[in-house]
């Protein structure tokens, strides 16, 4: 039976690599055990991550300021158009629209969520589930952006009601930098040409630089991502792509990739990459700042933390690679960090 001989084959291989596998498995178990006190782990991890690639003086207030829990996001329908096709990379930018379906848990006239360095182009709040006599449109009295709290705050003319569902739509714009956080661009040389790609590092709290969101790990929701890209580029994300169609914007042809909806997860786990190199090569791509990033369904590692020469590598090198894999795998298994309140 083919299945059985496949299994035997597999068993033989396992026998041969038993020691290595044991090492990896125990590294994972140790990592899981070490990381298991989740709150502590999360804080440490955030501190570590915050030390890299950000100099924001607002870090302290970010960690202290917590979103109110009156609203709970259920689903994000997020469309992003990263533009890395300009001649000058200091002009790389993105625009996007997010439709956040949320439920109101406690009556409130304020909608408060995270957003940093985004230009808000359009805002709309609608009642999702209503009695026929209700007006679905919710008028926005005013809105403000707090740089210190890193929030977008909407003040409504009438309060949102408990147990009702609403839809918040925000259209926004932002810059794509090469700072290796949130949505960033990086480059590599091919045939004497500079090739650019765009990718994300949303951990620990940088999703808010890419789209308005409830950017705390406890606010878990489902995400349906749509990415627009140019021909000869591909996009990949946590979930498989469902379909692609074309859209003309200002006379340019764009390819619209729709991804399947994710399971419930935190904002920091969302990720995508738009690039020219082959999908399979992404695992060894240049330009990733962290040794590796755990993302649900898509794990990326940098070349120098993954490539080993069998003859040259020292025990330390092998251990280092094992540690990176175990670390990222442990995040993927355990990684539902939660800092405190039930969302």
Ligand X SMILES: *[C@@H]1O[C@H](CO)[C@@H](O)[C@H](O)[C@H]1NC(C)=O
119 contacts ligand X (rule: CB under 6 A): no
Q: How far is the CB of 176 from ligand X (least distance, A)?
A: 13
Closest CB to ligand X among residues 192, 232: 192
Q: How many residues bind ligand X (CB under 6 A)?
A: 15
310, exposed or middle or buried, with CB in 10 Å at 0-12, 13-18, 19+? exposed
Closest CB to ligand X among residues 171, 224: 224
Cβ-contact 133, 227 below 8 angstroms: no
Closest CB to ligand X among residues 141, 341: 341
Instruction: Determine the interface stretch with ligand X among 1-9, 268-276, 279-287, 312-320 (rule: CB under 6 A).
Output: 279-287
Residue ranges in 231-270 that form contacts with ligand X under rule CB under 6 A: 242-243, 260
Provide the strand spans (E) within the chain. 71-83, 93-104, 108-114, 119-127, 137-138, 140-146, 151-160, 165-175, 182-190, 193-201, 222-229, 234-237, 241-249, 252-259, 272-275, 292-293, 300-301
Q: How far is the CB of 195 from ligand X (least distance, A)?
A: 14
Q: How far is the CB of 295 from ligand X (least distance, A)?
A: 15
Q: Where are the alpha helices (DSSP H) in 125-244?
A: none
Q: How far is the CB of 334 from ligand X (least distance, A)?
A: 23
From residue 26 to residue 55, the character string flagging contacts with ligand X as x (rule: CB under 6 A) and all else as - is ------------------------------
192 contacts ligand X (rule: CB under 6 A): yes
Question: CA 34, CA 45: separation in Å to the nearest integer?
Answer: 12
| 3-class SS of residue 233 | coil
For the beta carbon of residue 69, count every other beta carbon within 10 angstroms.
16
| Residue 49 bridge partners (DSSP) | none
Closest CB to ligand X among residues 37, 340: 340
Question: CA 112, CA 160: separation in Å to the nearest integer?
Answer: 12
Please report how the helices 38-51 and 18-35 are oriented relative to each other, as an axis angle in degrees rounded to 10. Answer: 100
Q: How far is the CB of 331 from ligand X (least distance, A)?
A: 19
Closest CB to ligand X among residues 9, 91: 91
Q: Where are the alpha helices (DSSP H) in the chain?
A: 2-16, 18-35, 38-51, 59-64, 303-306, 315-334
Of the residues 283, 287, 318, 323, which one makes contact with ligand X according to CB under 6 A? 283
From residue 72 to residue 101, the character string flagging contacts with ligand X as x (rule: CB under 6 A) and all else as - is --------------xxx-xx----------
Q: How far is the CB of 119 from ligand X (least distance, A)?
A: 12
Instruction: Determine the interface stretch with ligand X among 47-55, 128-136, 275-283, 290-298 (rule: CB under 6 A).
Output: 275-283
Binding site for ligand X (CB under 6 A): 86-88, 90-91, 105-106, 192, 242-243, 260, 280-281, 283-284
């Amino acid at each position: 039976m083919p299945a059985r001989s496949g299994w035997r084959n597999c068993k033989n291989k396992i026998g041969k690599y038993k020691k290595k596998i044991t090492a990896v498995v125990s590294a994972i178990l140790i990592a899981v055990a070490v990381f298991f006190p989740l709150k502590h782990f999360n804080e440490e991890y955030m501190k570590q991550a915050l030390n890299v690639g950000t100099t924001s003086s607002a870090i302290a207030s970010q960690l202290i300021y917590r979103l109110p829990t009156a609203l709970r996001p259920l689903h994000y329908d997020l469309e992003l158009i990263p533009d890395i096709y300009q001649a000058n990379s200091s002009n790389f930018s993105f625009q996007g629209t997010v439709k956040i379906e949320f439920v109101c848990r406690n009556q409130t006239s304020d909608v408060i969520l995270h957003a940093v360095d985004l230009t808000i182009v359009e805002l709309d709040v609608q009642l999702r589930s209503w009695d026929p006599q209700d007006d679905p449109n919710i008028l926005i009295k005013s809105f403000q952006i707090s740089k210190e709290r890193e929030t977008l705050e909407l003040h409504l003319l009438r309060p949102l009601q408990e147990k009702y569902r609403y839809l918040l739509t925000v259209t926004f714009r932002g810059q794509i930098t090469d700072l290796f956080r949130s949505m960033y661009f990086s480059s590599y040389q091919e045939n004497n040409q500079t090739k650019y790609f765009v990718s994300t590092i949303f951990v620990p709290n940088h999703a808010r630089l890419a789209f308005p969101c409830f950017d705390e790990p406890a606010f878990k929701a489902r995400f349906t991502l749509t990415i627009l890209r140019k021909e000869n580029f591909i996009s990949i994300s946590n979930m498989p792509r469902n379909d692609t169609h074309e859209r003309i914007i200002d006379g340019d042809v764009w390819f619209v990739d729709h991804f399947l909806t994710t399971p419930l997860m935190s904002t920091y786990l969302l990720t995508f990459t738009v690039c020219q190199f082959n999908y399979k090569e992404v695992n060894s791509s240049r330009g990733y700042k962290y040794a590796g990033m755990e993302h649900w369904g898509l794990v990326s590692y940098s070349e120098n933390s993954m490539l080993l020469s069998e003859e040259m590598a020292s025990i330390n090198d092998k251990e280092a690679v094992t540690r990176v894999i175990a670390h990222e795998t442990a995040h993927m298994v355990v990684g539902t960090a939660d800092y405190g309140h039930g969302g």
